[in-house]
């Protein structure tokens, strides 16, 4: 009886590992979609309002649409005028402090977000609008690549985990 419970636990662990890797690919697409939407909304807010960047970040950090952007509330807090930190240095520090959360994003994704945050608030209104448009376009390409990777590998990882668990059970029987 104990042997069967051990085999069942082994199969569940293997299946869980496959699902974990599949979910990491899915979470990358979710975060890229939210980041792209955030940048497009920042572009619209910069275009049609006169609110300063820290106020826009504060407003957007509380919105439901950006919930998967775990760094946004910390970025909004770090960019308050009292802190004296720029968005780029704040985001870089946030990514360094919470490295385990940035693993879901590819290196190129992080580079785009860091580049965007580093230039945020450093030019006139038209420059900010162009920055948002450029960054959203770059994220769109990353998002297409992430969707393609999830479509190709997401199901594969789940099935490999399940089949590896089944193979281990058969091996140990």
* pLDDT given for residue 132 in this prediction: 95
Does residue 13 form part of some domain? Answer: no
Q: How many domains does the chain have?
A: 1
**Tens-level pLDDT at each residue, the chain (173 residues):** 888 888 889 889 998 999 999 999 999 999 999 999 999 999 999 999 988 888 999 999 989 988 888 889 988 888 887 777 788 888 888 888 877 666 778 889 989 999 999 888 888 889 999 999 999 999 999 999 999 999 999 989 999 999 998 888 888 87
Residues with Cβ < 8 Å from 39, sequence gap 6 or more? 116, 132, 135, 136, 139
pLDDT at 156: 92
Which pLDDT score is estimated for 106? 87
In the prediction, which pLDDT does 137 show?
96
Given CA atoms 18, 20, 26, 32 in this order, what sign does their dihedral have? negative
Q: Where in the sequence is the domain holding 80, given as residue range(s)?
A: 36-156
Q: Model pTM?
A: 0.85
Q: Is the residue at 130 inside a domain?
A: yes
CB 71, CB 90: distance < 8 Å:
no
Q: Has residue 22 been placed in a domain?
A: no
Give the Å distances, CA to CA, from 151 to 54, 155, 157. Answer: 37, 7, 11
Note whether residue 6 is domain-resident. Answer: no
C-beta separation of 44 from 37 below 8 A = no
Does residue 43 lie within any of the structural domains?
yes
pLDDT for 102 equals: 62
Looking at residue 100, what is its pLDDT? Answer: 62
Is residue 21 in a domain? no
Q: Is residue 168 part of a domain?
A: no
Residue 152 gets which letter from DSSP? I
Does residue 119 fall inside a structural domain? Answer: yes
Alpha-carbon distance of 88 to 94, in angstroms, equals 10
Residue 139's nearest CA partner among 21, 9, 15, 34 is 34
């Amino acid at each position: 009886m104990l042997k069967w419970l051990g085999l069942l636990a082994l199969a569940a662990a293997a299946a869980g590992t496959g699902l974990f890797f599949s979910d990491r690919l899915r979470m990358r697409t979710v975060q890229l979609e939210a980041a792209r939407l955030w940048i497009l909304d920042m572009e619209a807010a910069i275009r049609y309002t006169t609110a300063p960047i820290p106020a826009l970040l504060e407003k957007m950090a509380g919105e439901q649409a950006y919930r998967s952007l775990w760094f946004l509330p910390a970025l909004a807090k770090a960019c308050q005028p009292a802190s004296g930190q720029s968005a780029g240095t704040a985001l870089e520090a946030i990514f360094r402090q919470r490295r385990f959360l940035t693993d879901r994003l590819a290196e190129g994704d992080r580079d785009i977000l860091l580049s965007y945050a580093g230039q945020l608030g450093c030019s006139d209104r038209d420059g900010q609008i162009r920055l948002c448009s450029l960054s959203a376009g770059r994220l769109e390409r990353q998002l297409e690549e992430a969707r393609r990777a999830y479509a190709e590998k997401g199901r594969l990882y789940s099935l490999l985990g399940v089949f590896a668990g089944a193979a281990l059970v058969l091996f140990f029987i």
